[in-house]
Chains A and B, each alone.
Chain A
Amino acid sequence: MHLATHLPPRLRQTLLSPEQPNAHALFTTGADQLDDLLGGGLARGALHEVYAETAPDCATAAGFTLALALRAAGDRAIVWARQDYAGIEAGGLYGPGLAALGFDPARLILVEARDVLGILRAGAEAARCPAVGAVLMEPWGEARPLDLTASRRLTLAADQSGVTVFLTRAAATPRPSAAASRWSVRPRPSRLMEADAPGWPAFALTLLRHRAGLSRQTFDVEWDGEQRAFADLAPLPGPVAAVPPGGTLVEGQGALRRAG
């Protein structure tokens, strides 16, 4: 018993607390305000759902989910199960684009499934493998097989292996599930770079549900692929006023950043 106190802390933890459910650490998003509100971050080894607010926002939802997965996975592999229809509707995953978000595409295992059942199978299989960092599942549309039972199974698998599972939903309305957190995402005008060039991806988030019982609230965050971290953005004042067509051009050619 006294020996145990001389053991390295990690080993001691392993020996003294065997098989404790929900013992997974949290992962931070990197955005301080958001982390504070979430109580330190989101749960590892759990299921999180990200809904695209409208169907055309699916790329935004996928990007936000990938960013979360990157925070959760560390240096481990990421399994991404996509439905074929998502690829047709929203375009195929693009390696250089993944790299630009700070994700090494070599760590990606892409599973293309015909239907939702295939996605569930692949996702559950991957969620049971503790060597995987995160699992992304991207079905398309209202998917009947994705019911409460399915989400409970995924949560169980994630809890046992410590793999964080993300479910990206496009063209679907949020429904009750066993997810630890549920988000709704739409794009937010980005923080402009010099010469008014679009900047890093920015997201307007709505927290729909959190296991800790947090109330529904909204955040604006930006993903920095360089730091691989989110950053807080000030909320936009009211609805965004549309820039008159060609408004940036009126100021002259200098307003455009020229490349190439």
Chain B
Amino acid sequence: MERWSKVKGRCGGPADPPLVLTEKVGNAVRLVALDRRALALGLVAGLTLADARARTPELTVDDLDPHADARLMERLADDADRWSPMVALDPPHGLMLDITGGAHLFGGEAALRGHVIQRMRCLGLSARAAVAGTPECARALARFGRAGVVPPGGERAAVAALPVAAQEAPPEATIALTRAGQKTLRQLPDRPTLPLSARFGQALSERLRRMLGQADIRIRPRRPLPAIAVERGFAEPIGRTEDIEAVVRDLTLDAIETLQGRGEGGRAFETAFFRTDGEVFRLAVETGRPSRDAAAVMRLYREKLDALADPLDPGFGFDLIRLSVMAAEPLAPAQADFEGRAPLADQVGDLVDRLTARFGRERVKALTPVDTHNPDRAQRHRPAAEASPSWPAPWLERLPDDPPGRPLQLFDPPQPIEALAEVPDGPPARFRWRRVQHAVAFAEGPERIAPEWWLTPANALTRDYFRLEDSEGRRFWVFREGLYERETEAPRWFLHGVFA
């Protein structure tokens, strides 16, 4: 509703007509969200639009956009990271923060709640917030009650005045409970649990227990929890590149000091930039090996910033920057050599990290052999930043003093050619590839390679591979797909690779 006002640039003054958002449910267009004035006129969610219009002709109507709403919630959840790393979406339009052990950083639970509401107001949203011992209790209080801060152990007293609907049980259960005289949650906990479970299911009584603080499960955070997080908040938002870089360097040094104390090195670093208007940018860099080298990490960040298509837009400035070490591994202090240089393997690893930060993981690759006779699958690309497999399959074995039996460069997929062979089973005498005619001078083959019947569809054909050299000395690897008469009537020819 408020997102709509913001998008349309209208601020629901008293003179504006009431606003409703609609959605098509079944065959009828029904109201799903209403503003205060619409509610005051007695309209309710679920009413068909035709009925609503009959009652109040001067309605402003628009379609509900659930995707945009979901995006807004994601953005808010990103922004809520500033209060706690444990943030979960609480559908349909709630956020759940686990602030255990973190509230004192913001001046206590009540002050933190004030912060949250204040910030939402700044973003043009009205929010209700509650702090309680369990997620279910906080949700019920925020949605149905007079929201506030529940002291430890005070859950039962806090929810006592809530209507039974606050359990958010299926409507039939709520109606049944109301008919039985249970209007609020005051008496319900005193009832024996067994008949309640028998009548309404185990889930309801379990939920009730959680609301009362008798049972508890933690929320599942949206983002993985960092091993170490350090942050700086700014009373006055910063926006200059030099300032930002200096802050990131300070944070990196802080994080590395902590790592040093633990005897660990970071594998993945993530910096989150919280913009004042609620936007959050994240920059992540990874290292191939655990690292405690602040200069190297900074270099990776600079590579990353350079490679960004749209540079970090500070807008009205960032008011919080946080650096998280997402993954850390044990790292023993290493000794440099006599001339103060790192070991060779480490230097290559650092180079791979820098290249990966600039070009991305999927563009800096290493080759891994695959144990198969199928030339299509004989190699696998893996990011070079990943460790090589500890037990690699051997590359294709060959006899000593044999010229290369496999091409330097392979086409994927193989390229169709028009070939002319003198003998049905023999090598081609000439072939045409990319509109150029090649006369075959010498040939070796066939090397018959059967399809992997345990992987490929049943009708895959056998391939006869030939190594060819044309009259100009170019060397090719071609194959005929299918055996004459046994598998196919008119086999097709393909060029699979080019030799050096």
CB–CB A260/B448 < 8 A = yes
A-B Cβ contacts below 8 A, count: 243
Cα of A42 to Cα of B235 in the assembled complex, Å: 61
- Is A122 in contact with chain B by the CB < 8 A criterion? yes
Residues of B within 8 A of A125 (CB): 351, 354-355, 358
- Is A246 in contact with chain B by the CB < 8 A criterion? yes
Given contacts A96-B378, A121-B358, A199-B403, contact A56 B500 (CB under 8 A): no
B395 to chain A, nearest CB (A): 4
Residue of B nearest to A129 (CB): B351
Residues of A within 8 A of B344 (CB): 76, 131
Against B, the Cβ 8 Å flags (1 = close, 0 = not) of A63-102 are 1101100000000110100000000001111111111110
Q: Which residues between 156 and 207 of chain A lie within 8 Å of chain B, taking CB atoms?
A: 186-190, 192-193, 195-202, 204
Count chain B residues whose beta carbon lies closer than 8 angstroms to a beta carbon of A: 73
A157 to chain B, nearest CB (A): 13
Which of A67, A122, A197, A246 is packed against the most chain B CB atoms within 10 Å? A246
Contact of A95 among B348, B351, B369, B500 (CB under 8 A): B369
Contact of A245 among B339, B384, B429 (CB under 8 A): B429
Q: Which residues between 358 and 399 of chain B lie within 8 Å of chain A, taking CB atoms?
A: 358-359, 363-369, 375, 378-379, 381, 384, 388, 392, 395-396, 398
Residues of A within 8 A of B51 (CB): none
Count chain A residues whose beta carbon lies closer than 8 angstroms to a beta carbon of B: 76
- Is A40 in contact with chain B by the CB < 8 A criterion? no
Against A, the Cβ 8 Å flags (1 = close, 0 = not) of B185-201 are 00000000000000000
Cα of A118 to Cα of B363 in the assembled complex, Å: 11
- Is B60 in contact with chain A by the CB < 8 A criterion? no
Tell me whether chain B's interface is mostly helix, strand or loop, or mixed. mixed
Given contacts A94-B379, A187-B475, contact A59 B355 (CB under 8 A): no
Cα of A126 to Cα of B344 in the assembled complex, Å: 13
Which of A131, A249, A257 is packed against the most chain B CB atoms within 10 Å? A131
Against A, the Cβ 8 Å flags (1 = close, 0 = not) of B429-441 are 1100010100111
Chain A positions within 8 Å of B, measured between CB atoms, are 14, 56-57, 59-60, 62-64, 66-67, 76-77, 79, 90-101, 104-106, 108-113, 118, 121-122, 125-126, 129-132, 186-190, 192-193, 195-202, 204, 223, 225-226, 240, 242-243, 245-249, 253, 256-260
Known: A96-B379, A109-B348, A200-B404. 12 other contacts (CB 8 A): A93-B367, A93-B409, A96-B406, A109-B384, A110-B384, A113-B363, A186-B472, A186-B473, A240-B471, A245-B439, A256-B445, A259-B445
| 9 pairs, A vs B, C-beta closer than 8 Å | A59-B407, A59-B498, A77-B348, A91-B411, A93-B409, A111-B363, A125-B354, A130-B347, A193-B403
